[in-house]
A and B are shown apart, each in its own frame.
Chain A
Amino acid sequence: MGVQEIPFYTPLYLLIFVVPMAIINYKLGIGLNKRIIYALFRMTIQLVLVGFFLQYIFLFNNLWVNSAYVIFMIGAAALSTVKTCGLTIKNQFLPIVIGFGFPNLVMILFINQFVIGLSNIFDAQYYIPLMGMLLGNSLSGNIIGINTFYSGLKQNEREYQYRLALSGNQWESTLPWYKEAITGCMNPIIASTETIGLVSLPGMMTGQILGGSMPMTAIFYQIVIMGAILISRYFGIHFSILLTRKKAFDDYDRLSL
């Protein structure tokens, strides 16, 4: 039992509802119209392109092609982190690529090998979409964590310097903001892990059920992915801060971002 195919033109039917939205926005002077249209348009183009691309990748289903795609995803996520957090690409791109590429890669291969028990752990059908979920979550966690750490240090420069003056080394002196960063990164995922399924069915489960899986199968996958997300997000933020901080301070332990 597969999912009902959607013809290429029927998604356009949804535009019927966008028209009243645009009218309301216009009448009330809510300046969202441009952004809404742009977002919907961009989303469609982006997904169609990814769809074409993935079709080919699934066709090849080759270890190297799949991994190249995964590495591309890691790079894109790292770039987005660097930009959102106001870091420099030259100094901080590579640390972040490694910082959250590594734990997520370990996690996905671990799941495929030991939890799902695939014969080919690089199988595109599992490797790519699951990695996408892990990375997407790690990305938002990394942005919160890295921002909390560095902006905490910037805003509390006097307190940080005082800790240095009290002879704390760089690690000891930055520890309060490091802890804050880990907590800030983990809080949202802990909250959503706690309440998942009560409010809405998560996207992956919905997809699997639509695709014809039995609910219990979908549930087990969801449990695995939630656990994996929580774990790789945790290690991802540790690694990312530890690796980026090497080039974030000068010889005098002053923040030099």
Chain B
Amino acid sequence: MAYLEFSNIQLNYQQQTIFSDFNLKIERNEKTLFCAPSGRGKTSLVKMLLGFVVPDRGEILVDGITLTGETVNQIRSKISYVSQDTDIPKGIVRDVFEGVFKFEANRHLSYNPDILKNYWLDVMSLPKDTLEKNVETLSGGERQRLALILGILLDREIWILDEITTGLDLELKTKMVDLILGYDKTILVVSHDDVYQNRGLREVIW
């Protein structure tokens, strides 16, 4: 059994068939690039994994668990999700991070704001005072990088990265992709960006 499995997925959206008898298997620690053309439901596919989009038919398996209303929380807690338009919770960055680690499901994780400040902000080329800023005053690119840090700190098995390099300059893009691909995780990337080419990702097109 593969680590992630989509079997016979049927999904209609606004009277259009997005997926019909769609099947996909992804192995543990495999790094996959979804680069199907726009409108083919790449984002819907990853949102199905999180239970935000529920297929009309078919089954989704994550680490041997079938995705249902009962298991959705268990499955969500295996996934880090970062998207292009990630809406980071509102407030001061420091409080937002603390708030996320206070969620019941995250309390077992050790969270150290000093490491965030002294290490991660540098890695992501973010200014030192970012933690004291209000999320609403940050640029889209800055929010995206914060979401990525948050995703990494949550230490999940599966990473879903939906168009996260959009709007960043090439240097920063390359730096982020180098960093991400260095991790031993099951990584699902949704992107059209050339920066992922020739990096050994399995390309999935439909």
Q: Give me the interface of A with B, judged by CB distance under 8 Å.
A: 156, 158-159, 161-169, 172, 176, 250-254
Query: Is the Cβ of B76 less than 8 Å from the Cβ of A167?
Result: yes
Of A158, A166, A176, A252, most buried by chain B (CB within 10 Å of CB) is A166
Query: Is the Cβ of A161 less than 8 Å from the Cβ of B52?
Result: yes
Inter-chain CA distance A182–B50, complex, in Å, is 30
Inter-chain CA distance A161–B77, complex, in Å, is 13
Query: Is the Cβ of A168 less than 8 Å from the Cβ of B87?
Result: no
Known: A158-B85, A251-B68. 6 other contacts (CB 8 A): A158-B87, A162-B81, A162-B89, A172-B104, A251-B72, A252-B52
Which 4 residue pairs across A and B have the least CB separation, nearest first?
A: A251-B69, A159-B87, A167-B105, A165-B81
Of A165, A169, A251, most buried by chain B (CB within 10 Å of CB) is A165
Offer 23 A-B interface pairs, CB within 8 angstroms, sorted by A. Answer: A158-B86, A159-B87, A159-B89, A161-B52, A162-B89, A165-B50, A165-B76, A165-B79, A165-B80, A166-B154, A167-B106, A168-B100, A168-B103, A169-B103, A172-B103, A172-B104, A176-B90, A250-B69, A251-B68, A251-B70, A251-B72, A253-B51, A253-B72
Q: Give me the interface of B with A, judged by CB distance under 8 Å.
A: 50-52, 54, 68-70, 72-73, 76-77, 79-81, 83, 85-90, 100, 103-106, 147, 150, 154
Query: Is the Cβ of B73 less than 8 Å from the Cβ of A169?
Result: yes
Inter-chain CA distance A159–B100, complex, in Å, is 13
Contact of A169 among B69, B81, B104, B147 (CB under 8 A): B104
Query: Is the Cβ of B68 less than 8 Å from the Cβ of A166?
Result: no
Inter-chain CA distance A176–B95, complex, in Å, is 13
Inter-chain CA distance A41–B70, complex, in Å, is 55
Instruction: List the A side residues contacting B79 at CB < 8 Å.
Output: 165
B87 to chain A, nearest CB (A): 4
Query: Is the Cβ of B72 less than 8 Å from the Cβ of A252?
Result: yes
Of A164, A167, A252, A254, most buried by chain B (CB within 10 Å of CB) is A167
Query: Is the Cβ of A164 less than 8 Å from the Cβ of B76?
Result: yes
Inter-chain CA distance A164–B52, complex, in Å, is 9
Contact of A252 among B51, B80, B150, B154 (CB under 8 A): B51
A184 to chain B, nearest CB (A): 16
A195 to chain B, nearest CB (A): 30
